[in-house]
Amino acid sequence: MPKVGIIYNDSKPTACRAATEIKDKLTGQGFKVCTAPGTGGILGYSMGPNPLHRIPIDQLAPPDFDREMMFAIVLGGDGTVLSASRQLAPHGIPLLAVNTGHMGFLTETYLNQLPAVLEQVIDGNYIVENRTMIAVEVCQSEEVLWEALCLNEMVLHREPMTCMCHFEIKIGRHAPVDIAADGVIISTPTGSTAYSLSAGGAVVTPGVEVLQLLPICPHSLASRALIYGEKEPVIIYPASPNQLVMVVDGNGGCYVLPEYQVKVRRSLYHAKFIRLQAPEFFQVLREKLGWGLPHIAKPTSVELP
């Protein structure tokens, strides 16, 4: 019996109703359908001075979501897609992202189009697009205290963000650099259109094998965004005596004490997105962010006296 998964935003009635209707329909067609809320991939935040207990990256998948699953339907907005990608990537499950949220930058289709889209996907008429993910670890010496899989970005900053802090950052074999800023962002190409973009970073097209290091409000004009090869591991040493906060994909994080190190590397896992046709990234930029739209507002010609 073929198996399909559904991950949905259980805080939105529309997504909950859709999950029930899709499950009934697919079950009637002979599929085994597994459902789970997207909250399973939200890592939460620590409530005290220490990181959360460690949840291994490959243990976030909901029950019965495994490599035998054909694909998973994700019902929600970008936050639900980020959560689902963290849950599904270790098992290589392609996800069909259906927008029931607002921006839907990562989604492929809308709820009213889903019946026809499902038929197309079940027939195997689709493309799988691989997106780079990064693995983030908080370590003390060689002990891993906390870890997460990340599709968009890792952010390390002061709490509250009102004071300058220092970071010593080592990229691959290169000499360490010192950055004074409110915080730092390490983003994937997918995350280059998220927080990184708002902080002044470059837009990187998916498929380019790079990552981006971006200081947040740096103190020096010399500290600007750096794009580097994705095979280079990064170690961040907090060089300030204060506690820092790390946030991954905007929906989970932990405290980082001065004696900790944050290690960031390209993950062996990829987020696999189902695309109904060859991806057209510039079109998504135009539709969602207004990039490259023609300037059509022209001044009215006025005859001079």
**What pLDDT, on a 0 to 100 scale, did the predictor assign at position 250?**
87
- Successive 10-residue mean pLDDT values, the chain, 305 residues: 94 93 95 90 61 76 93 94 94 95 86 94 95 95 90 90 84 93 96 94 95 93 91 94 89 87 96 93 88 69 58
**What pLDDT, on a 0 to 100 scale, did the predictor assign at position 173?**
92
Residue 112, annotated as binding a ligand? no
Are the folds of 3-131+270-289 and 133-268 the same?
no
Residue 79, annotated as binding a ligand? yes
Residue 194, annotated as binding a ligand? yes
Residue 242, annotated as binding a ligand? no
Residue 196, annotated as binding a ligand? yes
**What pLDDT, on a 0 to 100 scale, did the predictor assign at position 249?**
92
Q: Please tell me the total number of residues recorded for the chain in this structure.
A: 305
**What pLDDT, on a 0 to 100 scale, did the predictor assign at position 295?**
67
For the chain, the structural domain boundaries read 3-131+270-289, 133-268
Which DSSP symbol is given to 201? P
Residue 24, annotated as binding a ligand? no
Distance CA 106, CA 188 (A): 14
Distance CA 213, CA 233 (A): 12
Burial of 302 per CB tally in 10 Å (0-12, 13-18, 19+): exposed
Q: E strands of the chain, at which residues?
A: 3-8, 32-37, 69-76, 95-99, 109-110, 127-140, 143-150, 153-158, 165-171, 177-181, 183-187, 210-216, 226-229, 234-238, 244-248, 253-256, 261-275
Please give the C-alpha separations between residue 184 and each of 9, 49, 79, 135, 163, in angstroms, as whole numbers.
30, 20, 21, 16, 13
Q: Which CATH architecture has domain 3-131+270-289?
A: 3-Layer(aba) Sandwich (3.40)
- Give the active site residues: 78
For residues 245-283, one letter each, b for 16 or more C-beta atoms within 10 angstroms of the residue's C-beta and e for the rest, the string is bbbbbbbbbbbbbeebbbbbbbbebbbbbbbbeeeeeee
**What pLDDT, on a 0 to 100 scale, did the predictor assign at position 301?**
59
Residue 126, annotated as binding a ligand? no
CATH number of 133-268: 2.60.200.30
